[in-house]
């Protein structure tokens, strides 16, 4: 073998060794452009924004996950949960407060300081509802020209639990309303709200005063929007509403009369069902709230007020499906994205889906029924009207961004105190 050939082969071998070592020591991203390339870490830290209704369950699962020392490609995973209301998180995404890279910007152009800032970038988001993911993605797609949350493929948004919006009324009040109106629905609640003579006119006790509605503050809890969407569905007797429906003067008059029965939006927190349990009749007589929140606070209500809640399922149904949504942009590494998928699978496991029942959450895993655990709140409160399987109802369609903003604007101008 001549000297020239030996030199040539040596160069090729050296190049292959360099490429191999580089691939072992770096982590190249996928989904949405070139990902942040970093040296193989000692741990994979993933920050997950989590909506308030599922945060206690998800945080408990994360603690167990971390304690079990789960790994991805041999690297230990550490899950960090940050509780944040869905609307608040959506606003932060819209304002790009998390620091997503601009269109055309790649991780290799960042300074060390900018790279360090990206270590706190959320790897995944568990909002209340799928439509919040779609709204956030639409804003980024317009800005960046690509999707950041996917609807298909490995990294698609997947529901991890379900919770319906139900009527929860103190038993004493529910009995009177059923006798007066025959059933509990938005029209009955509206008529109770505008009864000039208060509870005596409805057949209740004078000491109860006027009917007081409980609805989450739409500015602090996306559940308030869900309640107004359900009310609009019943008012129009259809499953979808538009901006034109929101600005209809007759609907606005009806909705204002209805929402006027809420005691005080300004003092209510994002934890409306908890306020209901803590402060009883001073907060309200009943309202439409998230099923899981009502079930979690059922014992507190019974203990403090000796008047249990009765649950009723509306015809026009809204719900939260808590989609686990992985950010697919280059701001996070492939290891982080795949670690998030590991945690997603953990949440959907039979064991963790059974654990969710103790928080009043309906499993997203079809293998698990609501009575699959002795700790299930659906079993514990079956005598209060909780339905393991809800009869066929009319499901509301998710409103678009303009309709949601119109509802929020109407609330700010007409009801917010």
Assign residue 47 the CATH number of its domain: 3.40.190.10
Residue 9 lies in a domain: no
Whether residue 253 sits in one domain with residue 151: no
Do both 266 and 218 map to the same domain?
yes
Regarding whether 114 and 198 lie in a shared domain, the answer is: no
> What SS3 state is found at 276?
helix
60 with 86, same domain: the answer is yes
**Are 194 and 289 found together in one domain?**
yes
Same domain, 335 and 316: no
Q: How many residues does the chain have?
A: 417
Total domains present in the chain? 2
Residue 100 lies in a domain: yes
| Torsional class of 86: left (φ above 0), alpha (ψ -120 to 50), beta (otherwise) | alpha
Q: Is the dihedral of CA 224, 226, 229, 231 positive or negative?
A: negative
Report the pLDDT value the prediction gives residue 80, as an integer from 0 to 100.
97
My answer on whether 153 and 30 are in the same domain is: yes
> What are 218-275's pLDDT values in tens digits?
888 888 889 999 999 999 999 999 999 999 999 999 999 999 898 776 665 666 788 8
Query: Residue 376: inside a domain, yes or no?
Result: no
Residue 247: inside a domain: yes
| 417 residues of the chain, pLDDT tens digit each | 555 555 445 545 454 444 444 444 444 434 444 444 456 778 999 999 999 999 999 999 999 999 999 999 999 999 999 999 998 999 999 999 999 998 888 777 888 887 888 888 999 999 999 989 999 999 999 999 999 999 999 999 999 999 999 999 999 999 999 999 999 999 999 999 999 999 999 999 999 999 999 888 888 888 888 999 999 999 999 999 999 999 999 999 999 999 989 877 666 566 678 888 888 888 899 999 999 999 999 998 888 888 888 999 998 889 999 999 999 999 999 999 999 999 999 999 999 999 999 999 999 999 999 999 999 999 999 999 999 888 766 788 888 889 988 999 999 998 875
One domain, residues 208 and 278: yes
216 with 291, same domain: the answer is yes
Under 8 Å between Cβ of 94 and 317: no
**Does the residue 405 lie in any domain?**
yes
Tokens, residue 275: 């306020």
Contacts of 230 (CB under 8 A, 6+ apart): 165, 186, 288, 314, 316, 317, 318, 396
Strands 75-83 and 71-72: antiparallel
Q: 281 with 326, same domain? A: no
| CB-CB neighbours of 413 under 10 Å | 9
Domain that holds residue 241: 163-320+383-414
Give the whole-angstrom CA distance, residue 243 versus residue 235: 15
Instruction: Give the C-alpha separation, 417 to 408, whole Å.
Output: 13
138 within domain boundaries: yes
Residues 72/123, Cβ–Cβ less than 8 Å: no
Cα-Cα-Cα-Cα torsion 357, 359, 364, 366, nearest 10 degrees, comes to 0
* pLDDT score at 27: 42
Structure token pair of residue 389:
């399987």
Is residue 199 in some structural domain? yes
In terms of domains, do 85 and 44 share one? Answer: yes
Q: Which pLDDT belongs to residue 417? A: 58
Q: What is the pTM of this model?
A: 0.86
Distance CA 163, CA 356 (A): 11
Flag whether 356 is in a domain: no
Instruction: Tell me, yes or no, whether 53 and 129 share the same domain.
Output: yes
């Amino acid at each position: 073998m001549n000297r020239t050939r030996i030199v040539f082969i040596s160069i090729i071998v050296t190049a292959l060794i360099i490429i191999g070592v580089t691939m072992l020591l770096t982590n190249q991203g996928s989904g949405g452009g070139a990902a942040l390339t970093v040296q193989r870490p000692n741990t994979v830290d993933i920050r997950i924004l989590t909506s308030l209704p599922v945060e206690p369950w998800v945080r408990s699962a994360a603690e167990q996950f971390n304690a079990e020392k789960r790994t991805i490609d041999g690297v230990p995973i550490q899950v960090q949960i940050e509780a944040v209301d869905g609307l608040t998180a959506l606003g932060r995404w819209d304002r790009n407060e998390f620091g997503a890279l601009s269109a055309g910007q790649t991780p290799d152009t960042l300074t060390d300081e900018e790279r360090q800032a990206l270590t706190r970038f959320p790897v995944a988001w568990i909002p209340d509802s799928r439509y919040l993911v779609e709204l956030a993605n639409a804003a980024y797609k317009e800005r960046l020209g690509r999707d950041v949350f996917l609807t298909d493929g490995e990294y698609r948004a997947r529901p991890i639990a379900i919770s319906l919006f139900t009527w929860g009324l103190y038993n004493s009040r529910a009995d009177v309303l059923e006798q007066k109106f025959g059933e509990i629905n938005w029209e009955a609640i509206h008529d109770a709200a505008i009864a000039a003579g208060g509870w005596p006119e409805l057949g209740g006790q004078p000491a109860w005063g006027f009917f007081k509605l409980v609805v989450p503050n739409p500015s602090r809890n996306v559940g308030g929007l869900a309640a107004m969407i359900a009310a609009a569905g019943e008012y129009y007797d259809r499953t979808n509403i538009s901006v034109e429906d929101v600005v209809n003067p007759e609907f606005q008059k009806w909705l204002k009369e209805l929402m006027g029965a809420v005691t005080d939006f300004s003092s209510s927190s994002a934890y409306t069902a908890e306020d209901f349990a803590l402060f009883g009749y001073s907060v309200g007589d009943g309202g439409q709230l998230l099923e899981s929140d009502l079930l979690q606070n059922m014992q507190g209500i019974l203990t403090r007020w000796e008047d249990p809640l009765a649950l009723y399922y509306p015809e026009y149904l809204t719900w939260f499906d808590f989609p686990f949504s992985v950010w697919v942009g280059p701001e996070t590494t492939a290891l982080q994205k795949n670690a998030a998928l590991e945690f997603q699978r953990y949440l959907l496991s039979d064991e963790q889906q059974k654990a969710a029942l103790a928080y009043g959450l309906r499993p997203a895993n079809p293998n698990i029924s609501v009575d699959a655990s002795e700790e299930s709140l659906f079993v514990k409160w079956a005598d209060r009207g909780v339905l393991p399987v809800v009869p066929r109802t009319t499901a509301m369609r998710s409103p678009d961004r303009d309709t949601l903003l119109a509802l929020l604007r109407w609330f700010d101008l007409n009801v917010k105190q």
